[in-house]
Amino acid sequence: MSEHKIAMVGTPCEIMAASKLQNYTDSPIDVKLGLFCMENFSYRYFGNLLKEHDLKMDDIEKFQIEKGFVFLLLKTKETVKIPLSEAKRIIRKNCEICVELTSETSDISIGSIGSDDGWSTLIIRTKKGEDIVNGAIKQKFIKAKELRESQFKFLNKIAETKINKNLENIEKREFFARPVLYQRNKSDNSINKEISESDFSDLKSNVIDVGACVLCGACEYACPDNLITIDDSKPEIKGKCPHDCHACFTVCPRTFIPEDLRNDSSKALGKFIKVLSVKSLKHAQGQDGSIVTTLLDYLLTNNIVTDALIVDKEDYLAWKPYAKITSDIDEVVKSGGTKYSVCPVFKPLKNMKEEVN
């Protein structure tokens, strides 16, 4: 059992990977804070898109996507907006088969959709999540109010729109014999049999080569022999999988999903206990009300977790995301804000595991 208890922040696919790690391994991840996510962009192609508007990543102070536009707040304090319809061409291909908006297997889901400006929508999904939110309210880290029925309906509608659109994309992919494994309705016994017969070659053919890899790094972290690497591109293997190892295929969020983690597409927001609109009473410099930052502050301050697994941006390469583990609240605050591109979020867990060994 790990001495670390980690609070993780992630998108729906990253949270699904964390949930599979919890299901199949001795994972140090204890609390999952899931983000609302419509899609993510390729960092390289995003840079190319900015060039078309005579901009570069270094010019950007803050990103925001809402109301059909990508809003770019420049360091000059000017705001540039790019139609989301134009930005759609740089969306990562795996996002086109994601059928959840609100990180349904998290403890707490957080996003801006549905709430008033300066507030965040928060979905409590587990008893653990409920205890965290109640504690944060009691200690005046956040304040909360009920989400109005009209706001809830709007959030539900946006989630349904994503599900329906991407179910169509899945159907189109499978018409061309590109399997989308994570959407298969299989029993756990059947899944376990498939897992027992699968290794990296199956992961490569069914996920990586067909544009379904989310670049989360769960495969790299889970590989017991350190054969898999991700260096800002697709996962690659150096060497040959042991005959009896199926770890990478097991934990990938785009391979078969166990029954108790599987998305029910008839429920646009998944299972939940309560939906609230919340506002931070501690922090203001993040995005969407700074709720993620504030909840991490609460968790670390109260020693509920030992560390936070977060995504920051590189100092030497503007807006390039990278994952790190920290227990420093100042670092958590510094990392606030959406990056809109991905990185292998589980790589710091691998580094931590190697240090222990």
Residue among 306, 235, 218, 226 nearest 25 (CA): 218
Is-contact 312 322, C-beta < 8 A? yes
Q: What is the pLDDT of residue 1?
A: 46
Written as tens digits, the pLDDT of the chain (357 aa) is: 468 899 999 999 999 999 999 999 999 999 999 999 998 888 888 889 999 999 988 888 887 777 788 888 898 999 999 998 898 888 888 999 999 999 999 999 999 899 998 899 999 999 999 999 999 999 999 999 999 999 999 999 999 999 999 999 999 999 988 889 999 999 999 999 999 999 999 999 999 999 999 999 999 999 999 999 997 679 999 988 998 999 999 999 999 999 999 988 889 999 999 999 999 999 876 555 589 999 999 999 999 999 999 998 877 777 788 899 999 999 998 887 767 778 899 999 987 776 655
Q: What is the pTM of this model?
A: 0.93
Q: Is 355 exposed, middle or buried (0-12, 13-18, 19+ CB in 10 A)?
A: exposed
Is-contact 188 68, C-beta < 8 A? no
Rounded Cα distance between 178 and 157, Å, is 29
Q: Which residues pair with 237 in a beta bridge?
A: 228
Rounded Cα distance between 58 and 354, Å, is 34
Give how far the C-alpha of residue 240 lies from the chain's centroid of Cα atoms, to the nearest Å: 30
